[in-house]
Amino acid sequence: MSKKSRKKSSKTPSGSPTAKKKPQKTRASTQTRGAKTQPASASKSSKAGDKAASHKAASKRLKSSEKTSKPAASASAVSATSLPARSLSAKSLSAKSLAEGQKAPAFRLPRDGGNVVTLSDYAGQKLVLFFYPRADTPGCTREAIDFTRLKDAFTAAGTAVLGISADPLKAQEKFRDKHSLGIPLISDEQHEMLEAYGAWGEKSMYGKSFLGILRTTLLIGSDGKVARIWRNVRVDGHADEVLLAARSL
């Protein structure tokens, strides 16, 4: 063998280009595989982080909404429970002590037709005040019609008659026109006269308690003092009973 051929054969196992390139390819392939797997794992971790962040944000929103809703609920509960206490004022409670023989409380209120009525307008004569819960309801309608029917008899007995409720003037006038009532109707929307005469207080219906007008009638003598008081009035025959009391006074 010649020296040239020996040199060529000795270069081939160790210095051939194919032998040197193979390890580079494998390293490159492993690097590319690692590069491919790294974004996937990074995306998964980022998604998990986003989910955790969204859960934290949602929980924060829920906690903040609970904090804001709880005070509102407690405030409404306080206002609901305190309403009856405010309505049952010392004035209305003391008004229940109004008794026969006491001086009738003064009043000044609007009546149907736009005029104003005061207690002093009836000085020196007898006066009937009947307090009814609501205009144009069945019981109140029968009561107002009965007093209208006996109007002339009350006049002959020297007695005037006034009907009082908390209805506005328009409702009172509609009530008057619908049933041809001849009794002046007073509007006490602020409950001032109702409380003063003990006709405003606690009522119950269907097991529930509430504040409202107590059906009450008073007969005031010509001396300005309360002669008779009818509380928890039953409508049937009531106007006739009041007329008898006015005649005997």
The pLDDT value given to residue 53:
52
What CA–CA distances, in Å, run from 210 to 201, 218, 239?
8, 23, 27
The pLDDT value given to residue 44:
47
**Structural contact between residues 139 and 107, judged by C-beta atoms closer than 8 angstroms:** no
Report the C-alpha gap between 218 and 127 in whole angstroms. Answer: 8
Pairing of strands 185-187, 159-165: parallel
The pLDDT value given to residue 61:
52
Q: Is the pTM of this model over 0.75?
A: no
Query: Does 140 participate in catalysis according to the annotation?
Result: yes
Report the C-alpha gap between 242 and 229 in whole angstroms. Answer: 10
Place of tokens 């109004």: 98
Report the C-alpha gap between 23 and 57 in whole angstroms. Answer: 51
Report the C-alpha gap between 51 and 57 in whole angstroms. Answer: 10
Residues in CB range of 139: below 8 A, 6 or more apart: 132, 133, 215, 235
The pLDDT value given to residue 88:
40
Report the C-alpha gap between 72 and 49 in whole angstroms. Answer: 35
- The angle, 0 to 180 degrees and rounded to 10, between the axes of the packed helices 138-149 and 238-248 is 40
The pLDDT value given to residue 81:
33
Pairing of strands 159-165, 226-231: unpaired
**Structural contact between residues 110 and 178, judged by C-beta atoms closer than 8 angstroms:** no
pLDDT (tens place) for every residue of the chain, 249 residues total: 444 444 444 444 444 444 444 445 445 444 545 444 444 444 444 444 555 555 555 455 544 444 444 444 333 333 333 333 333 443 434 445 799 999 999 999 999 999 999 999 999 999 999 999 999 999 999 999 999 999 999 999 999 999 999 999 999 999 999 999 999 999 999 999 999 999 999 988 888 898 999 999 999 999 999 999 999 999 999 999 999 999 999
The pLDDT value given to residue 204:
84
The pLDDT value given to residue 205:
82
Task: From the candidates 98, 129, 135, 140, give the one annotated as an active-site residue.
Answer: 140
